[in-house]
Amino acid sequence: MRSFLLSLKKLIPDLKSNQQLTEAHPVEWFRICFGIVIILQVFYFYYVDFIDEDLIKPIIHFTYPGFSFVKPFSATTMHAIFILQIISGLLIVIGRFIKPALIFYFLSFTYLWLIDKGFFNNHYYLISLITFIMIFIPDLGKNGWKWKKNEITHYLPRWSLQILRFQWFIVFFIAGINKLNKYWLFDFQPLKYTFNFKAEYTGSTFWASDFFPMLFSYGGAIFDIGIGFLLIYPPTRWLAFILMLGFNGFNAYFFHDIGEIGIFPLLVISAFLLFLPSEKIEEKKPSKSNAKILHYLLWVWVIFHCVFPFRHLLYKDYVDWTGEAKRFSWRMKIDVKEAEPQFYVSPSGSQDKYPINVRKSLTPKQYTNLIYHPDMLPQIAKLFEKEAKKQGIIRPVVTADFKVKHNGQKERRIISEDLKLNKTAFSIWRHNNWILSSKE
């Protein structure tokens, strides 16, 4: 028990360890694999035609509060950015011009998913966080593309290994904690829906077994909560690796044709390299003031990532129903919403309603996110209001008949059918009362 607690303690930065150096091979091995993974991410974007289908063709982009200025460039410029991302990934792999490469990739990749809320994906967010951390690691990539342990002769600050391990640990752990809800543990949702959908999509009754949702609901929760502890404790580290291979290999196979899994399994498996053993050595200490500043900055990072994902506790109602504070919280594949919202526009004061085909205005990715995230409704309503005015409708009012079936529960309205969406605003600072309660 004592050795286990000591292993856990090593995740937390302290003033003494921040002034120590450690063998570089775990971080350098991860750096090489991470570079390969982010190159594959760019190729995945090309495979799904992300530039044309999701950046150029959409008639609206759902921007984040404070980031309305973030817009896509022309198709030519976006292709150039993707090519530069591939080059940046190669430079990260070979350890050349690594700081500029990391900075460019961080800025350009984060820019991509900030263009539209509909692009948000937890592993995109994680890639940005990991890249940001790596920017500040001195001497990273000093060994170039050499991967043999005896060829990696330099040392890195111990804090760099600690904070990378912490980041992965907290992602796993919070993802597991988020699964401890009645839908996941007792209704086996959304996995019951997912396995049934897989069976229908593939035509195989094998996936329709009632056993699978129960097995993977409890197995998934236990894996996410426990894998970080298995990784940091040396006697169970290789067991963790086997579990990571099995779990992520299954996810890659299962979701490749029914969900957006992308390169995430490869990214997760590469994280194992960070938890391989490394010996620390004492070196000349930096200035006391610099050590303290670094210490406080690391603690700000740790506290933020422990607290921020749970900000939804400050809001009323269930987070996956309202969508409030759901993003940036590691709530991965944790719920399912089924809906066919029908939007209407009508002249102010008139009983006439003109239906709007919302699917024609959105990409499939945007449409799916609209169902899951009500904060996008006022933005799409503004677009419909603008188009209605062009058609000569005076003071148009946009409403919607929006019923949602959440996690297999009874279908119910998420907004009032009389709500004037184009006159509604979404607040990130408080609960939005125009979102109806999840309780019957």
* pLDDT for 181: 94
Per-residue CA distances from 244 to 111, 214, 247, 248, 272 (Å):
30, 20, 5, 6, 8
Residue 344 pLDDT greater than 90, yes or no: yes
- The candidate with the shortest Cα–Cα distance to 262, out of 40, 86, 35, is 40
Please give the helix or strand (H or E) that residue 401 lies within, else none: strand 396-401
pLDDT digits (tens, 9 = 90+) for 425-437: 999 889 999 999 9
Per-residue CA distances from 82 to 104, 105, 134, 217 (Å):
11, 10, 20, 37
- Residues 397 and 348 sit within 8 Å (Cβ to Cβ): yes
* pLDDT for 21: 87
Token pair 């699917």 in the structure block, residue: 359
The model's confidence at residue 281, banded by pLDDT at 50, 70 and 90, is: confident
Residue 191 pLDDT greater than 90, yes or no: yes
Mean pLDDT of the chain: 90
pLDDT digits (tens, 9 = 90+) for 63-103: 999 999 999 999 999 999 999 999 999 999 999 999 999 99
Per-residue CA distances from 138 to 17, 142, 294, 382 (Å):
16, 9, 13, 47
Residue 115 in tokens: 């263009």
Task: Provide CB contacts within 8 A for 193, sequence distance 6+.
Answer: 336, 407, 408
Residue 5 pLDDT greater than 80, yes or no: no
* DSSP state string for 349-370: T----EEE-GGGGS-HHHHHHH
* Vertex 390 angle, CA 384 and 396, to 5°: 50
- Residues 230 and 239 sit within 8 Å (Cβ to Cβ): yes
What average pLDDT does range 390-405 have in this prediction?
92
For the ranges 7-16, 137-146, 205-214, the lowest mean pLDDT is seen at: 7-16
* Residue of 175 and 9 predicted with greater confidence: 175
pLDDT digits (tens, 9 = 90+) for 239-274: 999 999 999 999 999 998 887 788 999 999 999 999
* Residue of 293 and 165 predicted with greater confidence: 165
